[in-house]
Chain A
Amino acid sequence: MDEMNITSAQYIAHEGNNSSICATIDGQELHVPLDPANRHYAEIMRQVEAGTLTIQEAE
């Protein structure tokens, strides 16, 4: 029921470590923390596990 329309996701790195995910969700660009209690991160990981979303590596 909480499914979101996630069209892109890419890790953002700080000093070599991934610090957040820049994702386009329901048409908006969101900065999503790597926090399992965050509802957007939880949904990103659910879709990754379901095989419907891939998170791009940081540039």
Chain B
Amino acid sequence: MSNARDFAARVPVDGALSNRNIIVNGAMVISQRGTSFTSVGNGDYTLDRFRVYSSGGGVFNVDQASDGPDDFTKSLKVTVATNDASIGSSDYYMLNSRLEGYDTAKFNFGTSAAKTVTLSFYVKSSLTGTFGGSFTNSSEANAYIFSYTINAANTWERKTVTITGQTSGTWATDNTNSIRIYWDLGCGSGNVSGSTGWGSGAYGLSSTVQLVGTSSATWQITGVQLEVGDTATPFEHRSYGDELARCQRYYQKDFSIYNEDGNNGFTAMFPFEMRTSPTATRTGNGVTSQENVPSQVSTSSRRIYIYNASLPTGGTFELDAEL
């Protein structure tokens, strides 16, 4: 390839030159909840912004693996801990990421000005063949079914899916969920479609590889990017701090608050605004071991408030404003 042609292939022809990638934590570098997740429950978040669904008898382990293609140091690794040899028609096994309406509003989905977008990712698996996935709105009434082929076992390959803009349906443009991306790891016949393209109510394509059916099978992903246009540009790496801040709009761990004296409640501000008022889970004391557990805890997107008539009070909290 000539230098000019090489340059042209790397320049976006539509959309922004920077902040192209809508996916948060696409390089899998942030994992606030831990780096190893054993027997992941249905709907549990693992690495930041990525959750696993599993409804049948199969069980996954998930790790933040220190393994990736060139330019990547981390990936999300799914390992089949318990296989499901007889997947029921209504069963589902998937990896999922949910996107916020504020970030995808520029796609103009649900209007006549809907733009074509391109999803790209690096994938590696112990299994080869055609895999499926889907790209849906929050009601899942609009679902773009896609497939990709893994050609060689245990080898990183980059895959690209171009999605024509959807002019119908309801796609959020606010702080609620607009788009869901699913990678099918073994959905039953009732949850897959017979063809690719726009449809509804499906998470993958029929007759594709069902990872969960094979004991100890592995599947890894990193470099996930979603951008405007019909071309997958090179992955847009962001700084670690930038990516962490983006993740903490949805989840923060170890947020400590402590009230030693005074008769009223106590408020602490978050470093920046979360997506919405987070659920607060007290995971331990804040500063001292003598703290009374707060009798009241409430949040807004900017702050947490605690109260207990018996001081001192406080705690360390997980804050969950996930989609």
Enumerate chain A interface residues (CB-CB to B < 8 A). Answer: 1-2, 4, 12, 14, 19-20, 22, 26, 28-35, 37-41
Contacts and interface: CB of A to CB of B under 8 A. Distances in A.
Between B55, B265, B298, B320, the greatest number of chain A beta carbons within 10 A of the residue's beta carbon is seen for: B298
B281 A35 contact: no
Nearest to A26: B41
21 contacts: A1-B43, A12-B297, A14-B265, A14-B296, A14-B305, A14-B307, A19-B305, A20-B298, A26-B41, A30-B279, A31-B280, A31-B281, A31-B298, A33-B278, A33-B298, A33-B300, A35-B277, A38-B278, A38-B321, A40-B279, A41-B279
Interface residues of B, number: 29
A19 B296 contact: yes
Contacts of B176: 37
B53 interface: yes
Contacts of B43: 1-2, 4
Interface of B: 41-43, 53, 55, 92, 175-176, 265, 275-282, 295-300, 305, 307, 320-323
Contact of A33 (B42, B53, B277, B323): B277
Given A2-B43, A29-B281, 11 more contacts: A1-B55, A12-B296, A19-B296, A20-B299, A30-B279, A30-B281, A31-B280, A37-B176, A37-B277, A38-B278, A40-B279
